[in-house]
């Protein structure tokens, strides 16, 4: 039982799926033109037509496949989806006299979608077209000052539409509206972390059978949680390989080992520091560094696969957003053999290294993985850790990577991240990092002149990492961090804070 969301190109489609899941109902995103047979495979009890940039009256406007709108289940149209429902039923949609973008107050609202909602209703608008004439059987159930037709419904056919985005945080009561739609659909609310874990374990057991599974552990929440899930499902037939390339944060290797080994994960830790740093000697170009680190990872991973193999399966922490971006929906084949390409999480294994893929998280969002991690006992320092790039500190040292520079950056990074935790600021940031620049400048320490490194601190807030704002950390905190870094890391005499958003900058410096 699920809610199927047909994607017509809205930037918020993923949020619709996440909101339904947060409300306890499994939801799936499929392409807007997904065949009827593909939709029915998901056993839906309700359908959502997403927003999108097109106009319904355009010649090549996207539309659902034949037979989809004839399904005898509730359908909710959001923005473009609402306009399409009105248009196909004989209504009229035209370019709005005034484009509405941003927050708007509903001047009135009612009907089944708004059941039980009281008080002010603020909605997030983003549209240039509007429904100007209702089709037969529909009624207006909400409006704003600039949009007379803000929400519509046909209670007989159970077709509903909203011109705003109920899924975004800018529509504070949008969750209540989506919950009402679930009630209309008669949807079950059993999509919980405990339910997910039970289903995933059963699926892994069925897929793997008596086979052996190889997993690359990065230290991040996805691969660490996957290690715990697989260990619970197949025990010591899992071999998890953690390659320490020497570019990790201070104490990170020990933290990963302490988090996973006591929980039953058969973890093999490989110290490949010398191989990686040797290959990076004399290399300053960022892309070249990335390629070298990826190549060395492949070599180290292959060595361990040969030593501890043979293996039947390769496990990966692929998430649902990756599936949506790469394939436009879920694959119906969850057990076929696959040659591992460079776009997979392990960094790009050779074409001739064939495994069957195990990807239990391919239907999950990051926040759902974190919930599973908590249920499986993953410690919070790993479970709630900020994203960390695969090349590690190698791309946070501008220019050549040397053991001396790594030592400096590890100590600076540890002071900054530990400070964020100490001052209760870590969870207010989406990602935080320190960068060692090649800039050396004059300073004074005591009565002596210094000529030492400049380090940059960076922290951002974001919901999707596609765009980001620089984090407004308190001045007192930044001052404290600067003093600690300069006093404790003698190779540094200047600290700067990056206040650039994304765009125009990226979150990482390289």
Catalytic sites, residue numbers:
79, 165, 167
For residue 169, what is the enclosing H or E element?
none
Residue 452 has which token pair? 């030492």
User: Vertex 288, ends 466 and 214: CA angle to 5°?
Assistant: 75
d(CA 305, CA 317): 18
Known binding residue 220? Answer is yes
Report the Cα 479 to chain-centroid distance in Å: 32
Known binding residue 342? Answer is no
User: Vertex 139, ends 134 and 140: CA angle to 5°?
Assistant: 90
Give the strands of the sheet with 2-7, arranged side by side: 27-31, 2-7, 44-49, 75-78, 159-162, 151-154, 139-144, 92-109, 122-133
Q: Are 386 and 430 in contact (CB under 8 A)?
A: yes
Known binding residue 72? Answer is no
Question: What count of residues does the chain have?
Answer: 510
Contacts of 204 (CB under 8 A, 6+ apart): 229, 230, 233, 234, 358, 360
The residue among 317, 327, 319, 318 whose CA lies nearest residue 30 is 327
Residue 431 has which token pair? 């990602």
d(CA 10, CA 78): 10
Known binding residue 219? Answer is yes
Residue 175 has which token pair? 């969750």
Peptide bond before residue 504 is cis, with ω within 30 degrees of 0: yes
Q: How many other CB atoms sit within 10 Å of the CB of residue 235?
A: 10
DSSP at 414: H
Q: How many other CB atoms sit within 10 Å of the CB of residue 54?
A: 18
Contacts of 476 (CB under 8 A, 6+ apart): none
Known binding residue 309? Answer is no
DSSP at 502: B
Could you list the residues known to form a binding site for ATP, using ranges.
Answer: 218-224
Could you list the residues known to form a binding site, using ranges.
Answer: 218-224
């Amino acid at each position: 039982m699920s809610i199927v969301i047909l994607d017509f190109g809205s930037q918020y489609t993923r949020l619709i799926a996440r909101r339904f899941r947060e409300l306890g109902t499994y939801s799936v995103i499929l392409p807007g033109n997904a065949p009827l047979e593909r939709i029915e495979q998901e056993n839906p009890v309700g359908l959502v037509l997403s927003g999108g940039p097109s106009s319904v009256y355009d010649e090549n406007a996207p539309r659902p496949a034949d037979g989809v709108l004839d399904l005898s289940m509730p359908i909710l149209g959001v923005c473009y989806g609402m306009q399409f429902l009105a248009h196909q039923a004989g209504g009229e949609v035209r370019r709005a006299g005034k484009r509405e973008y941003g927050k708007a107050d509903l001047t009135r609202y009612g009907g089944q979608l708004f059941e039980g909602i009281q008080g002010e209703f603020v909605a997030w608008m983003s549209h240039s077209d509007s429904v100007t004439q209702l089709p037969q059987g529909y009624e207006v159930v909400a409006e704003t000052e600039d949009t007379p037709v803000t929400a519509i419904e046909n209670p007989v056919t159970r077709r509903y539409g909203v011109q705003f985005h109920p899924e975004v945080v800018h529509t504070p009561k949008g969750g209540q509206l989506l919950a009402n739609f679930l009630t209309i659909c008669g949807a079950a609310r059993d999509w919980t972390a405990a339910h997910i874990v039970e289903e995933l374990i059963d699926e892994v057991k069925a897929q793997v059978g008596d086979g052996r599974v190889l997993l690359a552990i990065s230290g991040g929440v996805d691969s660490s949680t996957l290690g715990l899930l697989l260990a619970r499902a197949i025990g010591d037939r899992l071999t998890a390989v953690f390659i320490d390339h020497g570019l990790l944060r201070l104490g990170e290797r020990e933290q990963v080992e302490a988090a996973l080994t006591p929980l039953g994960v058969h973890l093999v830790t490989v110290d490949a520091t010398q191989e990686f740093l040797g290959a990076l000697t004399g290399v300053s170009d960022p892309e070249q560094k990335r390629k070298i680190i990826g190549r060395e990872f492949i070599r180290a991973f292959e060595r361990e696969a040969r030593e501890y193999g043979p293996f039947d399966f390769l496990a990966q922490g692929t998430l649902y957003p990756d599936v949506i971006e790469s394939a436009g929906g879920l694959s119906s084949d969850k057990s076929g053999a696959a040659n591992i390409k460079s776009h997979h999480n392990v960094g790009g294994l050779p074409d001739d290294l064939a495994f069957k893929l195990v990807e239990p998280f391919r239907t999950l969002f990051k926040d759902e993985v974190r919930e599973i991690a908590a249920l499986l006992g993953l410690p919070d320092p790993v479970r709630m850790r900020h994203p960390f790039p695969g090349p590690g500190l190698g791309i946070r040292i501008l220019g050549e990577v040397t053991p001396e520079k790594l030592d400096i950056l590890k100590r600076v990074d540890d002071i900054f991240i530990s400070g964020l935790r100490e001052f209760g600021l870590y969870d207010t940031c989406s990602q935080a990092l320190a960068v060692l620049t090649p800039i050396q400048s004059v300073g004074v320490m005591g009565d002596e002149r210094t000529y030492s490194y400049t380090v940059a601190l960076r922290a951002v807030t974001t919901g999707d990492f596609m765009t980001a704002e620089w984090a407004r950390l308190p001045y007192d905190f930044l001052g404290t961090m600067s003093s600690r870094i300069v006093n404790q890391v003698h190779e540094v005499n200047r600290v700067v804070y990056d206040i650039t958003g994304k765009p125009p900058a990226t979150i990482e410096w390289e």
